[in-house]
Amino acid sequence: MEPFFGSDNQSGVHPEILDAFVKASGGFAGAYGGDPWTEAGQAAVSKAFGGGEAFFVFNGTGGNVLALQSMVRSFEAIVCADISHIADDECGAPEKVGGFKLLTGKSNAQGKLTVEAIERYVSYRGSIHQPQPKVLSLTQPTELGAVYTVDELKTLVAFAHKNDWFVHLDGARLANAAVALGVDFRAFGPVAGIDAVTFGGTKSGFAFGEAVVMFRKEHADATRFYRKQCLQLSSKMRLVAAQFSCYLDGDRWKRIAAHSIAIAAKLEDGLKGLGFPVAVPRDANALFVKLPVAMGDALAERFHFYKWPTGDGIYRLMTSFASTENDVEIFLAAFASASR
C-alpha cells in the first residue's frame, strides 16, 4: 500500500491502545460512564492537566461544540481565528448546534491569533446591537501546523481574562504541541489560565474519542447536561475512557507524538534536499509545501494528501504514529522523479 500523508486520522489504531480497547470491551459494565474504566480515565485526564473534570465524547466537532456551548449564553459569542477549525471546517456546527455567534480575527502567517487581531471586539461589550464576546478559542497547534509558545498563550489568556472572556483550547493534536514545546499537558490547563480544553484522541491513534476538560465548576456542571443534548453521551463510555487511560499511562502519549514529529522532520529534510522548502515553518507533524500544481495534484492523488484551499499551490502533508521512514523514502523517490 502507498503511504498516506493526508492526515493523522487516516491511520488505524495504535496497537497498545487497541489492546486496551479490546480488553475494556469484554464482559458487562455499567452504561453511560457508570463503570470503573470511565472513572479511571477521568482521573488520568484530570491528573495529566493538573485539574479539571473530563467528559468523554465521540468526536472533535462534537467536543468543540459541547465545550463552547457550556460556556456561553445565546447572545454571547466566541472569538476565534478566521482559519480555525470551528470557523472553517465544522460545517457551521458551532453556530447551528451551539446556537452562538463566531467572531473571527485575522490570523497571521502561522495561523495564530494575536491580541491586535481581536482587540476590536472589546468595543462590543454592552452594545445591544452586537453579540457579546465571551470566549476566546485558540487552536493548538494551529490549522497551519504552528504551535503557540507558552508565553504567547499566557499573553492571549491575560488579555481574555482582563476583558472577562473565558479561554478554550481546541487541542485535536495537543500532544504534538506539548512534545514540540517540551512541556506536559499542565501547560495547557489551569497553570496557563485555560478554562476549557477539547483534548484529541482520534488523531493520536485512538479508534475514536475525545475528551472535553472543564476547569471551572460552573462549566462542568453545564457540560454534564449539554453532553446529552449535543448527542455526545456514549452508553459504552468505557471504550473511550480505556483508550485515554492507556494513552496517558507513563510516556506513551509522548512516544506517539514524538514519533510522528520525527517522521515529519525527516520528510521536511528530504523535501528541502530536493529544493522544496516548507512554506510555513514546521513545529509539529504537519508540513506545508508549495509545489507546481500539476506535480502536486498527481502526487496528492497517489499519496492521499491535501491541496490547501488558498489557490496558490500549497499542499499539506501530515505524519502519524503509523508513518515510517520507509514511507518517507517511497514518497521522496516519487517526488524526485516527478520534479525532474
Q: Walk across the sheet containing 166-171 and list its strands.
A: 53-57, 210-214, 196-200, 166-171, 132-139, 76-81, 101-105
Mark residue 250 as left, alpha or beta (left: phi above 0; alpha: psi -120 to 50; beta: remaining): left
pLDDT score of 1: 76
Pick the CATH number of 252-338 from 3.10.20.600, 1.10.3720.10, 3.90.1150.10, 3.40.50.300: 3.90.1150.10
Tell me: the pLDDT tens digits for 155-194? 999 999 999 999 999 999 999 999 999 999 999 999 899 9
Q: Which three cell numbers stand for residue 30?
A: 455499567
What lies within 8 Å, CB to CB, of 288 at 6+ separation is 144, 145, 278, 279, 280, 282, 308, 314, 315, 316, 317
Helix H, strand E, coil C: the string for the chain is CCCCCCCCCCCCCCHHHHHHHHHHHCCCCCCCCCCHHHHHHHHHHHHHHCCCEEEEECCHHHHHHHHHHCCCCCCEEEEEECCCHHHHCCCCHHHHHHCCEEEEECCCCCCCCCHHHHHHHHHHCCCCCCCEEEEEEEECCCCCCCCCCHHHHHHHHHHHHHCCCEEEEEECCHHHHHHHHCCCHHHHCHHHCCCEEEEECHHHCCCCCEEEEECCHHHHHHHHHHHHHCCCCCCCCHHHHHHHHHHCCCCHHHHHHHHHHHHHHHHHHHHHHCCCCECCCCCCCEEEEECCHHHHHHHHHHHCCEECCCCCCEEEEECCCCCCHHHHHHHHHHHHHHCC
CA dist list (Å): 62 to 48, 180, 189, 205, 273: 22, 26, 20, 18, 41
- Where does 15-247 sit in CATH, by number? 3.40.640.10
pLDDT score of 339: 80
pLDDT score of 163: 98
User: What is the percent of the chain with per-residue pLDDT over 70, rounded to a whole number?
Assistant: 100
Q: What is the pTM of this model?
A: 0.96
Instruction: Give residue limits of the domains in the chain.
Output: 15-247, 252-338
Tell me: the pLDDT tens digits for 267-284? 999 999 999 989 999 999
Regions in the chain scoring below 50 on pLDDT:
none
pLDDT score of 69: 97
